[in-house]
Structure 1
Amino acid sequence: MPANPDAIVSLDWVRAHLDDPNVVFLHAGGDRAEYEAGHLPGARWVHGYDDLTVTRDGIRALVPLQHEMEATLGRLGVEATKTVVFVASGKSMWPHRGFWVLRFYRFPNVHIADRSVAAMAREGVALTSDEPAVAPATCALSEGDESVLSTWEEVLLTSQGAGKAVILDCRTDGEYRGEPGAHAAPRLGRVPGATHLNWELLVDDDGRFLPPERLRSLYAAAGIDGTRPVFPYCGGGIRSAASWFAMHEVLGWDEARNYDGSWAEWAARTDLPIATGE
């Protein structure tokens, strides 16, 4: 699959569409204070964990069910005919998570901005602290697209040596070795056989992806070249959504499939193996 040049919109595109009634900017993050400190005019606040994940069967940070996501988008005034652009205050995985969730539900027109809101402000884009009035809408989504999702069963088979897929741990070096991360987990470690590439290395401090040739080099060092399926995971399918975006949308590797359950699910299942250390 060729790379998707429309997945990321430029600063010039953002400037040209700030007043476009058919474009909805969704400012995603983990702390509303980021949004209140300054956002694009008309942008609507999306809380990453509250709006783009749910806890289900005791597992945190799973993709919302279809009706749950439809309700969230409706509350945000998003109809399926709109163009959605995810942005964030600074370097963040939340726009990529938002993109992946909407892509999973086959939302027709979803994008991310090519840089953070802070970077836009340095380029002269005026920010506001005013929150727009939003009229509720009806948003009908399609059934989830399993081609962008991987499951613990598939990851386990790969870990056991079946098939040709690659398991990619997108967390920090410490989490990969088995050290505690930002979120408590019943067990520490990694999926046996997983290679490692911290998602933070894929983007610069302004949230811009590195050039494709640099991304390919980083993935190649982790044993990934786009010729095999890749199952990226992290603590809860959020950071791994950024790596999925880099592979699937920037590099055009259509066999990248985000493991949404990620370590939250894997660690909770005591029947699944773990590895620790280097």
Structure 2
Amino acid sequence: MDDPKTLVSTEWLEAHLKDPDLRVLDASWFLPAMNRDAKAGYAEAHIPGARFFDIDEISDNRSELPHMAAPIEKFVSRMRAMGVGDGHQVVVYDQAGIFSAPRVWWNFRLMGKMDIAVLDGGLPKWIAEGRETEDLPPMPRDRHMTVQRQAHLVKDVTQVAHASKLGDHEILDARPYGRFIGQDDEPRPGLRKGHIPGAKSIPWDSLLNADATMKSPDDLRALFAAAKVDLAKPAICSCGSGVSAAMIALALERVGHLNWSLYDGAWAEWGMYNDLRIATGEA
């Protein structure tokens, strides 16, 4: 079901593509091991009218951690320059299907902007269906944006450590299972292996169908149940650096579990400090 606050289909987007208050963002971002250039991919082909949202650049460059959420002033400035502002319905997609787009969905939610949806299946589905693309960026006009930061949608390391100790939240980890149990190395050098004590493994790709669309709400509920996730508890979504964690947040929203937040520092932070406890093996 199309929901312009969470997830919309390619059919929905094509039907609304010429709406004057629609804005489309290409939020592609890839891990180094994926060996793909998101900006080059955008320049080669993007959905008509799409602007490129640079997750690494539109971030807090004062932090040593990767692509932490941008300060309000920087976010508003970048969005205004991209012609994205008040009164707009935003649809965000990526070149992988669904991978990094939910991160930008969360970024907007963090700023109090609710009228944003992820494109189900992303650019690969759009292209596979023979829909139009272009290779020239649009010429945006400034648009005023009013934001109100929603602090409850983000957790810092102290809050996560407290939740881990008390067990009063479900900590859900989107990294591949081999990294979660401490069997596989982290892609970032110098990080310990394992997971936050008490966390449960929800690998990001387990949330998707074979065609990179998100599983149905019923299938997502079954997935959470199989992982013994207690949806009566508030959830904290985590991953390697705060990107794929947002996929869990989107999935939770799709099943009606609205009491969630995202650990922005993620394993890039937790795995760096020896004074933070870690767990390995089966959760």
> Is residue 192 of structure 1 aligned with residue 191 of structure 2?
no
Deviates more, 1:92-101 or 1:201-210: 201-210
Aligned-residue offset at 1:215: 0.8
1:170-181 to 2 correspondences below 5 Å: 170-178=174-182, 179-181=184-186
TM-superposition CA deviations, 1:228-266 (whole Å, max 9, x none):
11112011111100111100x201101221111111221
Correspondent of 2:261 among 247, 257, 260: 257
1:1-278 to 2 correspondences below 5 Å: 6-30=5-29, 31-51=38-58, 53-142=59-148, 144-160=149-165, 162-178=166-182, 179-247=184-252, 249-278=253-282
Deviates more, 1:262-271 or 1:14-23: 262-271
Aligned-residue offset at 1:210: 0.6
Unaligned runs of 5+ in 1: none
TM-superposition CA deviations, 1:38-84 (whole Å, max 9, x none):
11111111122222x33444222211111111111112111122111
Matches of 2:226 and 2:12, distance apart in 1: 34
Aligned-residue offset at 1:211: 1.2
Matches of 2:221 and 2:187, distance apart in 1: 28
Matches of 1:228 and 1:112, distance apart in 2: 25
Amino acid paired to 1:26: L
- State percent identity of aligned pairs: 28
TM-superposition CA deviations, 1:211-231 (whole Å, max 9, x none):
111111111121114111111
Matches of 2:199 and 2:121, distance apart in 1: 30
Amino acid paired to 1:236: S
The answer on whether the counterparts of 2:97 and 2:125 sit within 8 Å (CA) in structure 1 is no
Residue aligned with 1:26, SS: strand
Matches of 2:171 and 2:209, distance apart in 1: 24
The change in CA–CA distance for 1:181 and 1:213 in structure 2 (over 3 A counts) is same
Residue aligned with 2:133, SS: coil
Matches of 1:275 and 1:163, distance apart in 2: 14
The answer on whether the counterparts of 2:242 and 2:262 sit within 8 Å (CA) in structure 1 is yes
Amino acid paired to 2:10: L
The answer on whether the counterparts of 1:75 and 1:137 sit within 8 Å (CA) in structure 2 is yes
Aligned-residue offset at 1:119: 0.9
The change in CA–CA distance for 1:5 and 1:44 in structure 2 (over 3 A counts) is closer
The answer on whether the counterparts of 2:163 and 2:169 sit within 8 Å (CA) in structure 1 is yes
The answer on whether the counterparts of 1:76 and 1:136 sit within 8 Å (CA) in structure 2 is yes
How many residue pairs get aligned? The number is 272
Matches of 2:62 and 2:211, distance apart in 1: 33
TM-superposition CA deviations, 1:109-136 (whole Å, max 9, x none):
1111122222112223111112212223
Matches of 2:96 and 2:125, distance apart in 1: 8
Amino acid paired to 1:152: V
TM-superposition CA deviations, 1:146-204 (whole Å, max 9, x none):
222223223212322x1521111110112112232333343232111211110111012
Unaligned runs of 5+ in 2: 30-37
Q: TM-score, normalised by structure 1?
A: 0.90
The answer on whether the counterparts of 1:4 and 1:252 sit within 8 Å (CA) in structure 2 is no
Q: TM-score, normalised by structure 2?
A: 0.89
Matches of 2:13 and 2:140, distance apart in 1: 20
